[in-house]
């Protein structure tokens, strides 16, 4: 297993990584500068996914456990057509967020032959835990990121991990939160392709409102540049 490196919320690096994985250049990550309506109007459409980077904290961990306990009590099951994988390694939430973003939009994204397409083909029919284990063993994917990040001179695998990535997607008329540290996707209710960005922005604002003293939030969107 290749050593894994934590990912920065840098759209330029993410885009170079996605291209290495086989995502066509027309699909790119862009910064969402604000969650206010006027700023959201500037985000290119269509928006296929939103990725939220946020600081891990005791407040969030308590909320996460309470949320999962409530879901398990209700007996909610994972939708079969939502691609969700469990996080196995500590440094890979950024890679998982990108995989979640692309894997749930392959009806829009025509992947080139390569690392990600191979992984998704191999992951067909697996449950979330097995998908996570398969990714952990996909050495070539992590090596591709290591090779990329080494060209930036920003390699620091000893830095403690204090942030986490989650992905928001629109699937079959619902808005889902995908987090490798949660047992199933979180359904945040109905949405449409047209309303997705604003509905997902509201979920991001909910994260921020739970921890108003924290400023380490960042939002990135997967969009078409055509």
34-38, 40-44, 75-79, 167-171, range with the lowest pLDDT: 75-79
Catalytic residue from among 84, 93, 170, 204:
93
Third-level CATH fold of 11-224: Ubiquitin C-terminal Hydrolase UCH-l3 (3.40.532)
Q: What tokens appear for 187 in the block?
A: 């359904």
122-135: average pLDDT: 95
Q: Which of 100, 164, 170, 204 is catalytic?
A: 164
User: Catalytic residue at 93?
Assistant: yes
pTM above 0.85, yes or no: yes
SS (H, E, C) the chain: CCCCCCCCCCHHHHHHHHHHHCCCCCEEEEECCCCCHHHHCCCCCCEEEEEEEEECCHHHHHHHHHHHHHHHHHCCCCCCCCCCCCCCCCCCHHHHHHHHHHHCCCCCCCCCCCHHHHHHHHHCCCCHHHHHHHHHCCHHHHHHHHHHHHCCCCCCCCCCCCEEEEEEEEECCEEEEECCCCCCCEEEEECCCCCHHHHHHHHHHHHHHHCCCCCCCEEEEEEECC
- Asked if residue 159 has pLDDT above 70, the reply is no
Higher pLDDT, 96 or 79: 96
Question: How remote is the C-alpha of 21 from its chain's centroid?
Answer: 15
> If pLDDT is split at 50, 70 and 90, which confidence band does 226 have?
confident
Flag whether pLDDT at 2 surpasses 70. no
Q: What is the mean pLDDT of residues 199-219?
A: 90
């Amino acid at each position: 297993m290749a050593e894994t490196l934590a990912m920065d919320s840098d759209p330029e690096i993410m885009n170079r990584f996605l291209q290495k994985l086989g995502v066509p250049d027309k699909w790119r990550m862009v910064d969402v500068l604000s969650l206010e309506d006027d700023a959201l109007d500037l985000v290119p459409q269509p928006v296929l996914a939103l990725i939220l980077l946020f600081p891990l904290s005791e407040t969030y961990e308590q909320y996460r456990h309470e949320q999962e306990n409530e879901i398990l009590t209700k007996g909610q099951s994972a939708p079969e057509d939502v691609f969700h994988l469990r996080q196995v390694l500590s440094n890979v939430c950024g890679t998982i967020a990108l995989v979640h973003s692309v894997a749930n939009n392959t009806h829009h994204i025509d992947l080139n032959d390569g690392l990600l397409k191979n992984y998704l083909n191999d992951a067909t029919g697996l449950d979330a835990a097995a998908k996570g284990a398969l990714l952990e063993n996909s050495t070539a994917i992590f090596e591709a990121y290591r090779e990329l990040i080494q060209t930036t001179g920003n390699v620091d695998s000893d830095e403690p991990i204090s942030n986490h990535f989650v992905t928001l997607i629109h699937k079959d008329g619902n808005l889902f939160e995908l987090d490798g540290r949660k047992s199933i996707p979180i359904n945040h209710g109905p949405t449409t392709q047209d309303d997705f960005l604003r509905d997902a922005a509201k979920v991001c604002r909910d994260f921020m409102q739970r921890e108003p003293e924290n400023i380490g939030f960042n939002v990135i969107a997967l969009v078409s540049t055509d």
